Amino acid sequence: MTFGGERAEVQALEQLEAVVHSIADELAAWRTRALKTESELRELSGRGSGVARVDPETRGRLAELEVENKQLRLKVEAARSRVHSLLGRLTFLEEQAREASGNGGGGGR
């Protein structure tokens, strides 16, 4: 009966060996990827300022957004100026209304 028990142990060891080989292959693949990534990072950081280069599409979109931002700032400043002007006119009209109500309220006609 020990023969059957030995056979089960051999099968278990073969399965374990297959799992270990599979894990070793996967580990080697991850190590290769990690080394490649580290190499790419060193290459990018060695190109100057350490900032990755921006692709032309992103650079174009950035330029568009900068122009749009500038236009929006100008619009906000113009709106701020108009609001300031309107507040001045409103203050003037409120003062006129107070003076009119303080002078007898139309008794001069």
Give every residue of the chain whose pLDDT is below 50, as ranges.
Answer: 1, 50, 108-109
Predicted TM-score (pTM) of the model is 0.42
Q: How far apart are CA 93 and CA 61, in angstroms?
A: 47
∠41-45-50 over CA atoms, to 5°? 130
List pLDDT tens digits, range 44-54. 767 655 455 67
Q: How far apart are CA 79 and CA 85, in angstroms?
A: 10
Q: Which two tokens stand for residue 9?
A: 């142990």
Q: How far apart are CA 74 and CA 81, in angstroms?
A: 11
Report the pLDDT value the prediction gives residue 74, as an integer from 0 to 100.
Answer: 92
| Sign of the four-CA dihedral 35, 40, 46, 52 | negative
CA distances from 82 to 75, 76, 77, 93, 107 (A): 10, 10, 9, 16, 36
Report the pLDDT value the prediction gives residue 109, as an integer from 0 to 100.
Answer: 45
Report the pLDDT value the prediction gives residue 51, as an integer from 0 to 100.
Answer: 52
Radius of gyration, alpha carbons of the chain: 40
